[in-house]
Amino acid sequence: MLSFIRLFTAAIFIIFMTLFALVYCIFTPRNPKHVYFFCRWFNQIQKIVGLRVETRGVENADNVGNSVYISNHQSVFDFVTDPGMLRPRTVTVGKKSLLWVPFFGQLYWITGNILLDRENKSKARNTIQQVAEAIRNRNLSVWMYPEGTRSKGRGLLPFKTGAFRMAIEAGVPIVPMCTSTTHNKIDLNRRDNGIAITEMLAPIDVTQFKNARELADHCHTLMAEKIAELDVEVERFAMSKVEVPAKTN
């Protein structure tokens, strides 16, 4: 029953926000400032699902300028854990098929996010060049999931190189962002789903690497280590809440 209430509440929230966005953005559609504005609102969904999200390290983005942000892609619950890390004038890059997701897809498009046609490799390459130009010329940052798909409990998957080629071409740093593992940790029928931790790491100078693959592998190593650290911390927090039964004689 609790699961139904939460799903219903979240659905109503998303529908309302989409309708509001259509009105709010009508005179300035696809303006990158809209993404940050609406992410502030969507960050509240954590309360609906009974999860507390602790966000750390956002000060690492201060005074960095335009960047390519990358984060691990786990499940639909990324929609709950990740919005608090998004910085002003940052847009996300997603699959073109998202456009056909009712309500959310239309909200995603009108707020200024970028949709890639991943089935057409030549178009995708051109899009990387266009996005790199937009980063330089329109004062933008972009956020991507370099795994390219949701990991669904398989750990941090190998990275594709698109985000890293984009950063190299634009001449901007990569900023890794890590979220503790949420697979099998969130139960919509459970009142309290504990905590998840998101942490932004220090920016990485892309000029220090020979190519996109070397840069991707370096970021993968850093993120895998940080996610493991965050998982240990979350587990300790969960254990501290478990009451140890008193010994009986």
pLDDT confidence band for 246 (50 / 70 / 90): very low
Residues 6+ apart with CB under 8 A from 199: 55, 56, 57, 177, 178, 226, 230
pLDDT digits (tens, 9 = 90+) for 114-131: 887 766 666 667 788 888
Angle at 211 between CA 217 and CA 68, to 5 degrees: 70
Percentage of residues of the chain with pLDDT beyond 90: 64
Q: Is residue 209 part of a domain?
A: yes
Q: Is residue 249 part of a domain?
A: no
Q: Is residue 41 part of a domain?
A: yes
Q: Whole-angstrom Cα distance, residue 8 to residue 89?
A: 31
Q: Is residue 146 part of a domain?
A: yes
Q: Is the pLDDT reported for residue 35 higher than 70?
A: yes
Residue-range definition of the domain harbouring residue 138: 2-239
Q: How many domains does the chain have?
A: 1
Percentage of residues of the chain with pLDDT beyond 70: 94
| pTM for the whole structure | 0.89
- What is the chain's mean pLDDT, rounded? 90
DSSP string of 90-119, one letter each residue? EEEEEEGGGGGSTTHHHHHHHTT-EEE-TT
CATH of the domain at 152: 3.40.1130
What tokens were used for 232?
């240990």
Q: Is residue 246 part of a domain?
A: no
What's the rounded mean pLDDT across residues 180-207?
95
Q: Is residue 248 part of a domain?
A: no
